[in-house]
Structure 1
Amino acid sequence: MQNPFLNPAFSMASLTAAINLIPNRYGRIGELNLFNAKPVIQRNIVVEEMHGILNLLPTLPPGSPGTVGTQGKRKVRSFIVPHIPHDDVVLPEEVQGIRAFGSENQLEAIAGVMARKLATMRNKHAITLEHLRMGALKGQILDADGSVIYNLFAEFNVTQSTINFQLSSSTTKVKVKCNEVLRTIEKNLLGEVATGVRVLCSPQFFDVLTSHDNVEKAFAFYQQGAALVDDTRAGFRFGGLVFEEYVGFATDAAGTIRKFIPDNEAIAFPEGTLDTFATYFSPADFNETVNTLGQELYAKQEPRKFERGTDLHTQSNPLPMCHRPGVLLKLTAS
């Protein structure tokens, strides 16, 4: 009897294409199209930084030699792309009764079992990628156990700016705080462009912000009080910023629930940039993927010893990156 898993429908290329077509059920950061995918063929990436120098040019008498241009300083940083493998198995009892003994053409039902497994594995990789991207937005890319993979502030030798909105005080001028956020991000863009600034808030930060006297009054005046009755958690504009409630969290292998944004905090970052954010994808460590451009996810299957099931292997090799960590602001409620 021919092993149905030897059919081309279960090849590495087919399974990889299938798992990349499964809808991503997690990932608000992905929905924002903030981190553009950049496939690479190496296991590490090199980020080159060059600061242009803009000097005021002095006036000189006619006939004088011109001032000499100064080259900007260049720095090169290397980062290893994390390797995230995940395994599962399709056991005989899962396809028992689906494929009759001796049949070689009943692949559709087996493909359904395989698709269900791949969907579960896809969701795990998706929430992991969301966790990594959120870490890049906060300046610290964290592993599943909470350990630091890369501290972008340390790597790029910058200090994170923290702005206290002081929302516990009814006299705080929230608009002034918003201006401070905008000015700080504009200063740290270092020549980059942006179309706006978004703030992802923890539920606690969002609640105290929207219930603050100054914010409520502004909404009552400009939106005829609609913000007092509508659900504005999906995002609203105030003081030049778009505030959005974010409730992402995940459970690690030990069962610990990790909130992506701590209570009473928020993060602010620019949108519409050219190359400030990116997600680098390296190729899988398979023979057939050597020197090829990396994909978001890979999937492969292999029969177990004595044909006692089929092992499934998926892997992703992503590195979300913020090339200008100075634009990542931490906001506190009080």
Structure 2
Amino acid sequence: MPTILDIFNQDAFSAASLTGNIAMVPNSYGRINELGLFTAEPVATTSVIVMIENGVLNLLPTRPRGGPASLGTRGKQKPASFVVPHIPHEDSVLATDVQNMLALTSNGDAGLETVLGFLNRKLITMRRKHAITLENLRMGAVKGIIRDSDGSVLLNLFTSFGVTEQVVDFLLGTPATDVVGKCQDVTGYMEDNLLGETMTGVHALCSPEWFRKFITHASVKTAYTYYASAPNPMRQDVRKGFEFGGITFEEYRGSASFMQEDGTTSVAQRFIPAGDVRFIPLGTTDTFTNYWAPPDFWGSVNQAPNGADSEVFV
């Protein structure tokens, strides 16, 4: 009787091994991820409650010795509940995907495709899809409005937290604009509204159009005319980042296609629209948090994830 080899029951195809394979693929897409803004917090539930606490900070009056002390005032707390988005993605490997297909071997020669080799490449593609999806969600959090893959609004953080978006017009089309003063307006506003937080600096992610107008503005060019140290926008490509007015400015080209109702994808849309720039406080502790909820499988019910941002289930 012939023996049928069931390769999918081998250890290499177990959920743990596949998760290990996918974890070896670096999250190569995502400047927000590289900046390390978000603190990962695994939770055992599919929703979280964030306590919005307005602390009270006031001057303390002097009192005569032996007299009563001033009393502390408790801050007001307001809970806000958020549902953690669930983003499953499925794919399959069929016999026809592997049969008669060629692939490069470890020594660089062409050979027949293997199931494991094809599966790993499939996992790499799935991993990259999750990476760009996570970048979209995180950029949405930075901008204040988180959008789904079809462009619809998942969460408006301005209304959820009761804050108003602050807009600063740099007036880069006006040669006489004091750009350093505009930078100080941005950092000053952030410092005044940290509400108990601290920051170590400010990072600006700029659309290519805004960045080009910024580095060619008269006041920026004048400031760097006699500046010999690198990086210098007068003589070098500084799109990866340079400091001006206490802010690190960087050109950001992140974009993705959104799924449309008919199943087709849209033209790639930038995460930061043309002519726009977003300023981000650096070094804060609680400003940005990434909550990881349990996947929709029996073995993970009411259990906080192990910290990996992607897991494979078969």
Q: Distance in 2 between matches of 1:36 and 1:272?
A: 11
Letter in 2 for 1:195: T
User: 2:24 matched to 1:21?
Assistant: yes
Q: Larger strand proportion, structure 1 or 2?
A: 1
Q: Give the CA RMSD over aligned residues.
A: 1.6
Q: Which one has more relative contact order, counting CA pairs under 8 Å at least 6 apart?
A: 1
| Post-superposition CA distance 1:260-310 (Å, at most 9, x none) | 001111000111111211211112111122232223112123xxxxxxxxx
| Native 8 Å contact 1:220 1:227 kept in 2 | no
Q: Which of residues 173, 187, 204 in structure 2 aligns to 1:199?
A: 204
Residue 245 (1) aligns with residue 256 (2): no
* Pairs within 5 Å for 1:39-58: 39-58=42-61
- Measured against aligned partners, the alpha-carbon deviations of 1:75-118 in whole angstroms (never above 9, x if no partner) come to 111110001111111111122258xxxxxxxxx92211110100
Q: How does 1:168-187 map to 2 (within 5 A)?
A: 168-187=173-192
Residue matched to 2:238: 232
Q: TM-score, structure 2 length as denominator?
A: 0.89
Q: Which digits, 9 at most, give the CA deviation of each residue in 1:210-245, with x for residues without a partner?
A: 000000111122237942221100000000000000
Alignment correspondent of 2:69: 66
The equivalent residue for 2:313 is 300
Which residue in the other structure is 2:5 paired with? 2
1:49 offset after TM fit, Å?
2.1
Tell me if 1:150 matches 2:166.
no
Q: For residues 155-206 of structure 1, what are the alpha-carbon distances to aligned partners after superposition, in whole Å with 9 as ceiling and x for unaligned?
A: 0001110000000000000000000001000011111111100000000100
Residue in 1 that maps onto 2:292: 281
For residues 181 and 120 of structure 1, do their structure 2 counterparts lie closer, same or farther at Cα, with a shift above 3 Å needed? same
4+ long deviations beyond 3 Å: 60-63, 223-226
Partner amino acid, structure 1, of 2:40 = A
Q: Any stretches of 5+ residues in structure 1 without a counterpart?
A: 99-107, 302-334
C-alpha contact 1:185 1:269 (8 A) present in aligned 2 = no
TM-score normalised by structure 1 residue count: 0.84
Matched residues, percent identical?
47
Q: Which consecutive residues of structure 2, in runs of 5 or more, have no partner in the other structure?
A: 102-112
Distance of 1:187 and 1:271 partners within structure 2: 15
Q: How many residues matched? A: 292
Tell me whether 246-255 or 150-159 shows the greater mean CA deviation: 246-255
Matches within 5 A, 1:212-231: 212-223=217-228, 226-231=232-237
Match of 1:96 among 85, 99, 110: 99
Q: Within 2, Cα distance between the matches of 1:69 and 1:151? A: 34
Please name the residue that 1:305 is paired with.
Answer: none
Deviation at 1:59, TM superposition (A): 2.5
After superposition, residues 307-322 of structure 1 pair within 5 angstroms as none
Q: CA-to-partner distance for each residue in 1:39-75, whole Å, 9 max, x for gaps?
A: 1111111111222211222233443312211111111
